[in-house]
């Protein structure tokens, strides 16, 4: 696997120089953040981004994300123009030799949490999701801003979006996703891009909005929309694993056997209720997910793609973008690499034993 790290560009206090010092990290996951959603990413901008990363001694492994315009998700007549722009962006990314593109199909809001700075028992702070808090919130009030939420909506725009989604139940969202997939994936096949859809986070409806990339059954339905390894998954352990009924290692083995795991987000969560959880340190004992078994599943499918430590705690007094501090994610990267080395040597010893028996 290719251990990578999320970087938010020149405004990110976590610099490329710091990332390069994390043992075993050679890849960068990033995006172009100053182009309006739905517009074409110019080839020159992509190349400049790639050259900046390579000048720091790293490789641009994944673009995360090329956002999908809400008109596509809703199914408005304007969607074809935005899909055309999306296809051109994919062509430009492929021309610049970018191997993987991550995206999601979550209506209105990206990943969602009820608090940014919940204090854990060890004194660190973490992102948490409490169902009872979310249920009391009014998403139109502006009372909570989170990294990943689009805060660029002007007055009244969110209400208009919510009004549109009144006519988009779950099956209609599936139809709109299928329309999008069947339009863009032939381009991905043509230019050699591997697309990776991120699961909904959390993997259930919020604020009355449908969410459909949530479990094995729906992931199976998703990959059935286009028969190609270009049409794959970003297997996010923390997003899928927030639902205790999702068996993340089993999903990795199942979809990995179909060559559909194109990117991995590795993150642990601690369940605090049926639909409530805290983000935790990566190691297995810190949360509810068996991270070693997750890494073993990746080893079992001989995963050779990019992986990154996902959201981390804020530790040692670090400030900045919640969930995206340097220190805990660096610890996570080293831990994940150590687990990979351990399960790899475990396999080698087992194979040697079988050969010598």
- Residues designated catalytic: 198, 236, 265, 310-311, 324
Q: With CA atoms as reference, report the closest residue to 60 among 99, 15, 28, 96.
A: 28
How far is residue 62's CA from residue 235's CA, in Å, rounded to a whole number?
14
Q: SS3 of 126, please?
A: strand
Cβ-in-10-Å burial (0-12, 13-18, 19+) of 123 comes to exposed
Asked whether 45 and 351 are in contact (CB, 8 A), the reply is: no
Q: With CA atoms as reference, report the closest residue to 196 among 279, 247, 149, 265.
A: 265
State the DSSP string of 250-278. Answer: HHHHHHHHTT-EEEEEE--EEEEETTEEE
For residue 202, say if its preceding peptide bond is cis, omega within 30 degrees of 0. yes
Asked whether 225 and 182 are in contact (CB, 8 A), the reply is: yes
Q: Quick one: how many helices (H) and strands (E) in the chain?
A: 12, 12
**H/E element, 125:** strand 125-129
Residues 6 or more apart in contact with residue 236 via CB below 8 angstroms: 198, 199, 201, 264, 265, 267, 310
**H/E element, 196:** strand 194-197
State the DSSP string of 29-59. Answer: EE---SS-TTSPPPHHHHHHHHHHHHHTT-E
């Amino acid at each position: 696997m290719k251990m990578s790290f999320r970087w938010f560009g020149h405004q990110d206090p976590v610099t490329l120089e710091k990332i390069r010092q994390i043992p075993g990290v050679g890849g960068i996951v990033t995006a172009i953040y100053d182009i309006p959603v739905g517009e074409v990413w110019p080839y020159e901008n992509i190349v400049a981004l790639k050259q900046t990363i390579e000048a720091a001694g790293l490789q641009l492994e994944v673009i995360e994300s090329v956002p999908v315009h809400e008109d596509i998700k809703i199914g408005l007549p304007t969607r074809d123009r935005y899909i055309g722009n999306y296809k051109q962006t994919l062509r430009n990314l492929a021309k610049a030799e970018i191997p993987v593109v991550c995206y999601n199909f979550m209506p209105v809001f990206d990943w969602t949490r009820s608090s940014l700075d919940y204090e854990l028992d060890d004194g660190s702070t973490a992102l948490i999701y409490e169902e009872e808090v979310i249920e009391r919130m009014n998403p139109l009030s502006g009372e909570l801003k989170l990294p990943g939420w689009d805060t660029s909506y002007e007055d009244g725009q969110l209400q208009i979006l919510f009004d549109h989604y009144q006519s988009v139940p779950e099956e209609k969202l599936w139809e709109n996703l299928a329309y999008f997939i069947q339009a863009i994936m032939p381009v991905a096949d043509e230019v050699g891009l591997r697309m990776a859809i991120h699961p909904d986070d959390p993997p259930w409806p919020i604020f009355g909005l449908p969410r459909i990339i949530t479990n094995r059954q729906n992931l199976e339905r998703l990959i059935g929309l286009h028969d190609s390894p270009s049409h794959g998954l970003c297997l996010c352990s923390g997003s899928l694993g927030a639902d205790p009924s999702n068996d993340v290692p089993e999903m990795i083995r199942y979809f990995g056997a179909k060559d559909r795991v194109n990117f991995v987000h590795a993150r642990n969560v601690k369940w605090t209720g049926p639909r409530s959880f805290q983000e935790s340190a990566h190691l297995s004992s810190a949360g509810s997910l068996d991270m070693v078994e997750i890494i073993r599943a990746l080893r079992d499918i001989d995963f050779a793609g990019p992986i990154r430590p996902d959201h981390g705690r804020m530790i040692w007094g670090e400030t900045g973008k919640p969930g995206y501090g340097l220190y805990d994610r660096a610890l996570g990267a080293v831990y994940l690499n150590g687990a990979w080395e351990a399960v790899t040597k475990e396999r080698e010893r087992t194979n040697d034993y079988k050969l010598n028996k």
